[in-house]
């Protein structure tokens, strides 16, 4: 295997032809980015209980006599993130000046930019499904592009599609363009080396996009509708080399407003969840409603917070400290579920085989779930819920095995348990930003399969158990170059992020590894992310920051998710029913486990609030963070409460569903089979080796016996 230094040398010398493209806009001056004044510790607000001015870092809580920090970050740039800002601003400046000078001064490399040692010619061979079509309802659109290598060496290219959106001043905010599709060509050879299908000189790629993918979310009803809408007007589809360089513009129309009252996949109702709340203290955009950027004048960037912006009143303080669950269904949980009932079912009983495909699966709606859950005791359920750190506990009553789960995203590792040798000897993979720079979903799905295959190998240095759960991939957005963990996330663009992550998840899950996609949601910085309030419009939230998670759920089929440390507005993400149930489970159709981020005596991360919001596992190693532990004011678990036991039972089902659809079941039913090569290496070769040793042993023993018969028996014979 060639190391990184040799690989870099090969690229620089031209021995190999790289085909990566940028996943972010590289601007000339990061301080001129719209996020600059609203990032990290540039913006934190405190107050004391009577609303008077306090230290700008903290307020003094007289009840607990603790200094408590309440940080916040204002997403005042709205939907104008990354290229959505630079390309929109450039279009405006170009109209005013007649040239591209503003863009040339402010952008070094566009989003999607890439170089090659060869050259390519593009020809749009089929645009009939888009050009001059007038759409009046939702649907899919396709464009076919023929890419020919016109240079001297072999190489790959990336074809990108962007939709240019119409806008009227004062109307629904929209960026100038949004990425809606892309395709990576196979390796194309120069004409002199080309040889038919084995070494093609050209390839045709067909890129399909959904109109839903270019819709805007109107949270204010400016279009006359609240929800996803594609407004009537003139649009263009850009066939582009990157976000700025267009090869061909294809016009199309939307005849009348196309609206989505229901999710196009689940058919469930889509409504505002974080705006127009019954209690305005829980609106997600309270702090920024009057200071948002607008396409009407993008030269007006957000200002730094003023002194008066740094103080909160009693109502805001009470909302920040509110640990009560916001699950409206809880009031109906009045019947105590069965507990510890005798039965004959075990977890593997729910594993079925599809008659057509032959694949094994577990049905979330199987009627036997209730019977299985009745057998489990409250103590077993609570033990699994509380001990969710890098594992799930075994449940003896239903023969559920314990599982090993690992941090990520560059491989199987667990830095929280340095003395545990279960995680030693594993591969290290490239960072997620490099993965997305490939713009190659097929390659990334194969990489996911490799990670999943390694999960089947498992803890080879200890007990040999498979790695079943992976805290990866991260799909937060590169909102700012100073994000702190941008290497763990893919891109500034939600569509590229979501589609690459979905491919990785599909690959992993094909080998029985469930991926905790993280951090759900609005976790775009590391500094002060613990409990910090992210103030954001529901439009920006849904179009940019939730979109990658939505894609991974719908296209990747992920069965696991990790919530984040931060708040959205005043409520912690991991304890918000609107996020974990109404959007994730109900709107998008997610089935599986939601785990917290690391919970170590974090006073705002209430286990009760979390489990009643739709969370399932408490990722903690500190008993103070258990449901039933100290919890700093959270209500302790009540075994006599029908609501508490029902919430615990729901969470248990979600975890069991995830585990039952994983490689953890191999020892029970071989649901996920080892690769053929592994079977040959570890079984066939072991048998051959064992037989060889037996034969050698037989002859060695026989020879030893013969020698023993002829050896002298006394010194006299010698």
Residue 703: φ, ψ to 5°: -65, -40
| Three-state SS annotation for 223-237 | CCCCEEEECCEEEEE
Which is it for strands 560-563 and 514-520: parallel, antiparallel or unpaired? parallel
Which is it for strands 403-406 and 560-563: parallel, antiparallel or unpaired? unpaired
pLDDT band at residue 318 using 50, 70 and 90 as cut-offs: confident
Q: By percentage, how much of the chain surpasses pLDDT 90?
A: 74
Is the pLDDT at 484 greater than 80? The verdict is: yes
Cα 646-650-653 angle, rounded to 5 deg: 135
DSSP per residue over 602-662, as a string?
-TT--HHHHHHHT--B---S-GGGSTTS-GGGPPPP-TT-HHHHHHHHHHHHHHHHHHHTS
Mark residue 74 as left, alpha or beta (left: phi above 0; alpha: psi -120 to 50; beta: remaining): beta
Number of helices (H) and strands (E), helices first, in the chain?
Answer: 17, 27
pLDDT band at residue 70 using 50, 70 and 90 as cut-offs: confident
Is the pLDDT at 552 greater than 90? The verdict is: yes
The pLDDT of residue 635: 80
CA-CA distance, 546 to 521, in Å (whole number)? 7
Is the pLDDT at 44 greater than 80? The verdict is: no
CA-CA distance, 563 to 265, in Å (whole number)? 23
Q: Which of 122, 32, 121 is nearest to 77 (CA)?
A: 32
The pLDDT of residue 714: 37
CA-CA distance, 273 to 464, in Å (whole number)? 45
Which H or E run includes 178? strand 177-184
pLDDT band at residue 184 using 50, 70 and 90 as cut-offs: very high
Average pLDDT in the 35-40 region? Answer: 88
Positive or negative, the CA dihedral 429, 433, 438, 440 is positive
How do residues 121-148 score in pLDDT, each as one tens digit?
Answer: 999 999 999 999 999 999 999 999 999 9
CA-CA distance, 567 to 531, in Å (whole number)? 6
| Three-state SS annotation for 461-490 | CCCCCCEEEECCCECCCCCCCCCCCHHHCC
Where is average pLDDT lowest: 59-63, 449-453, 493-497? Answer: 59-63
CA-CA distance, 333 to 644, in Å (whole number)? 9
Cβ atoms of residues 237 and 162 within 8 Å: yes
Q: Which of 269, 100, 249 is nearest to 177 (CA)?
A: 249
Task: Give residues with Cβ within 8 angstroms of 650, minimum separation 6.
Answer: 611, 616
Average pLDDT in the 210-226 region? Answer: 97
How do residues 560-615 score in pLDDT, each as one tens digit?
Answer: 999 999 999 999 999 999 999 999 999 999 999 999 999 987 789 999 999 999 99
Residue 90: φ, ψ to 5°: -60, -40
The pLDDT of residue 233: 98
Is the pLDDT at 94 greater than 70? The verdict is: yes
Which H or E run includes 146? strand 140-149
Beta bridge partners of 253: 134, 234
Query: In angstroms, how far is the first alpha carbon of the chain from the final one?
Result: 60
The pLDDT of residue 717: 30
The pLDDT of residue 63: 43
Positive or negative, the CA dihedral 355, 361, 362, 364 is negative
The pLDDT of residue 418: 65
How do residues 403-440 score in pLDDT, each as one tens digit?
Answer: 999 999 999 988 776 677 888 889 999 999 999 999 99
pTM (two decimals): 0.91
How do residues 645-688 score in pLDDT, each as one tens digit?
Answer: 999 999 999 999 999 999 999 876 545 544 454 545 545 656 66
Average pLDDT in the 18-38 region? Answer: 96
Where is average pLDDT lowest: 2-16, 54-68, 98-112, 396-410? Answer: 54-68
Average pLDDT of the chain? 89
């Amino acid at each position: 295997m060639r190391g990184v230094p040799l690989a870099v040398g090969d690229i620089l010398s031209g021995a190999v032809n790289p085909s990566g493209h940028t996943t972010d806009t590289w601007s000339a001056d990061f301080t001129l980015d719209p996020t600059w004044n609203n990032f990290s510790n540039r913006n934190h607000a405190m107050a004391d209980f009577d609303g008077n001015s306090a230290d700008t870092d903290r307020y003094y809580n007289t009840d607990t006599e603790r200094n408590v920090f309440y940080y916040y970050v204002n997403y005042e740039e709205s939907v104008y993130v990354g290229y959505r800002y630079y390309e929109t601003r450039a279009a405006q400046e170009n109209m005013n000046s007649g040239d591209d000078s503003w863009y040339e001064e402010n952008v070094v490399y566009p989003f999607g930019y890439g170089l090659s040692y060869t050259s390519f010619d593009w020809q749009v061979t089929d645009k009939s499904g888009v050009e001059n079509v007038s759409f009046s309802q939702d649907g899919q659109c396709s464009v076919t592009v023929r890419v020919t290598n016109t240079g001297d060496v072999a190489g790959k290219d990336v074809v990108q599609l962007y939709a240019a959106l119409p806008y009227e001043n004062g109307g629904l905010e929209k960026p100038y363009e949004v990425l809606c599709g892309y395709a990576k060509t196979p390796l194309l050879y120069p004409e002199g080396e080309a040889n038919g299908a084995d070494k093609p000189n050209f390839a045709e790629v067909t890129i399909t996009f959904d109109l839903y993918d270019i819709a805007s979310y109107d949270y204010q009803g400016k279009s006359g509708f609240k929800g996803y809408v594609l407004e009537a007007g003139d649009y263009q589809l850009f066939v582009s080399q990157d976000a700025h360089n267009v090869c061909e513009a294809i016009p199309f129309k939307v005849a009348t407003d196309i609206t989505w009252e229901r999710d196009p996949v689940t058919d469930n109702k889509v409504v505002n969840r974080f705006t127009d709340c019954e209690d305005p203290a829980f609106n997600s955009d309270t702090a920024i409603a009057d200071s948002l950027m607008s396409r009407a004048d993008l030269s007006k960037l957000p200002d730094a917070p003023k002194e008066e912006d740094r103080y909160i009143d009693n109502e805001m303080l009470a909302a920040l400290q509110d640990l009560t669950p916001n699950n409206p269904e809880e009031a109906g949980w009045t019947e105590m579920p069965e507990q510890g009932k005798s039965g004959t079912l075990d977890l593997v009983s729910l594993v079925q085989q599809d008659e057509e495909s032959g694949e094994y699966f577990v049905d979330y709606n199987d009627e036997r779930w209730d019977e299985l859950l009745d057998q489990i005791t409250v103590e077993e359920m609570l033990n699994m819920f509380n001990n969710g750190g890098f594992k799930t506990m075994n449940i003896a009553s239903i023969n559920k095995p314990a599982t090993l789960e690992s941090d990520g995203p560059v491989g199987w590792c667990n830095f929280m348990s340095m003395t545990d040798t279960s995680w030693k000897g594993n591969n290290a993979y490239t960072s997620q930003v490099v993965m997305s720079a490939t713009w190659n979903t097929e390659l990334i799905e194969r990489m996911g399969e490799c990670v999943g295959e390694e999960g089947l190998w498992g803890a080879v240095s200890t007990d040999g158990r498979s790695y079943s759960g992976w805290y990866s991939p991260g799909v937060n957005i590169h909102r700012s170059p100073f994000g702190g963990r941008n290497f763990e996330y893919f891109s500034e663009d939600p569509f590229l992020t979501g589609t690459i992550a979905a491919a990785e998840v599909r690959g992993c899950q094909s080998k029985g590894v469930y991926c905790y996609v993280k951090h759900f949601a609005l976790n775009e910085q590391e500094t002060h992310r613990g409990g910090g309030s992210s103030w954001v419009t529901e439009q920006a939230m849904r179009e940019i920051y939730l979109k990658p998670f939505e894609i991974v759920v719908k296209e990747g089929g992920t069965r696991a998710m990790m919530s984040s440390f931060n708040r959205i507005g005043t409520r912690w993400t991991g304890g918000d029913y609107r996020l974990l149930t109404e959007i994730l489970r109900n709107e998008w159709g997610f089935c599986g486990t939601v785990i917290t981020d690391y919970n170590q005596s974090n006073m705002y991360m209430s286990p009760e609030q979390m489990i009643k919001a739709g969370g399932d596992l408490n990722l903690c190693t500190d008993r103070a963070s258990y449901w039933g532990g100290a919890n700093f004011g959270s209500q302790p678990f009540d075994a006599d409460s029908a609501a508490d036991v029902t919430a615990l039972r729901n969470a248990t089902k979600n975890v069991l569903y995830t585990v039952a659809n994983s490689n953890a079941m191999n020892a029970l039913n071989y649901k996920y089979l080892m690769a053929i090569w592994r079977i040959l290496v570890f079984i066939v070769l072991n048998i051959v080796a064992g037989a060889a040793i037996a034969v050698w042993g037989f002859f060695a023993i026989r020879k030893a016996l013969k020698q023993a018969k002829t050896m002298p028996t006394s010194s006299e014979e010698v």
